[in-house]
Amino acid sequence: MRDQALTKREEARLIKTYQRVLQEGAFPNPDRAGCPDNEILRAIALRKLGTEQVKDWIEHLGTCTPCFREYTEFRENVEWRREAAYVGMAVAVIFFVVLAIGWWKLRPSHPVVITAHNHIVADMRNRLTLRGGQGREPSEGPLVLGRGIDDVSFYLPEGSRAGTYEVAVFREELGEPLASATGLASVEKSMTRMKATLDLSRIPSGHYLLGIRLPGVEWSYYPLMIR
């Protein structure tokens, strides 16, 4: 005997030797004298009992047709559930592989243009201003905006005047703006606030510069990330 009452090889030999004789009723036990209950038979079939717990039942299994039939049914159920689980996992894997391949083939060949309006608050008061597009990277990181059409509320740096401001998005090497808008700024409780609608739906994701100025005044630039 080993740690388990029946190894797979021992179980196969037992079934092969006795299954025809037992299944044909060679050892009837209509009164079920000395039979273990169903829970014990199930535990034996599931190999949940060790040698000391099950050794007294091994001989009984080989000499009792009703117990052997129940034990065989339990083992068949275990094997069926195991095979069903393997089949289920294989089907799930195939499904997800097919789904991934389908998504890859049907994905848009061009970036999706997002047109939904979102309201964003951009606090510029403590951000480093890059005059002429030059300067060090601010410690708080770039302003982040999503690709789409966004209604942006800007809180301009302290001391900014009220008036109509221009807002534009530039490549890091500057040049012509990729998107621009205007917004009317007002001073409220010592804070200068401006609203503008920026259409960033046609600009690829990446790093840019956001420029803000009053007409005729030099641009103030801020690092910008569009994603």
Reported as a single tens digit per residue, the pLDDT across 157-177 is 888 899 999 999 999 888 899
pLDDT at 186: 94
Q: What is the mean pLDDT of the chain?
A: 77
Does pLDDT of 211 surpass 70?
yes
Taking the C-alpha atoms of residue 172 and residue 92, their distance in angstroms, rounded to an integer, is: 47
Structural contact between residues 128 and 135, judged by C-beta atoms closer than 8 angstroms: yes
Taking the C-alpha atoms of residue 4 and residue 139, their distance in angstroms, rounded to an integer, is: 65
The parent domain of residue 78 ranges over 8-105
Structural contact between residues 167 and 182, judged by C-beta atoms closer than 8 angstroms: yes
Number of other residues whose CB lies within 10 A of the CB of residue 208: 26
pTM of the entire predicted model: 0.45
CA 91, 94, 96, 98 torsion-angle sign: negative
143 & 79 share domain? no
| Closest-CA residue to 178 (of 203, 197, 150) | 203
Task: Tell me how long the chain is.
Answer: 227
Residue written as token pair 């503008």: 196
- How many structural domains comprise the chain? 2
Does pLDDT of 110 surpass 50?
no
User: Does any domain span residue 82?
Assistant: yes
Split at pLDDT 50, 70, 90, the class of 113 is very low
User: Does any domain span residue 111?
Assistant: no
pLDDT at 1: 42
99 & 181 share domain? no
| Closest-CA residue to 193 (of 162, 224, 149) | 162
CA distances from 28 to 23, 34, 40, 104, 222 (A): 10, 13, 20, 63, 91
Domain at 161, CATH number: 2.60.40
User: Does any domain span residue 160?
Assistant: yes
**Residue that terminates a domain, selected from 55, 70, 105:** 105
CA distances from 143 to 15, 45, 48, 111 (A): 73, 65, 61, 22
131 & 217 share domain? yes
Taking the C-alpha atoms of residue 114 and residue 207, their distance in angstroms, rounded to an integer, is: 18
What mean pLDDT do residues 121-126 have? 84
pLDDT at 166: 95
Taking the C-alpha atoms of residue 55 and residue 26, their distance in angstroms, rounded to an integer, is: 22
Residue written as token pair 């008036």: 163
Split at pLDDT 50, 70, 90, the class of 19 is low
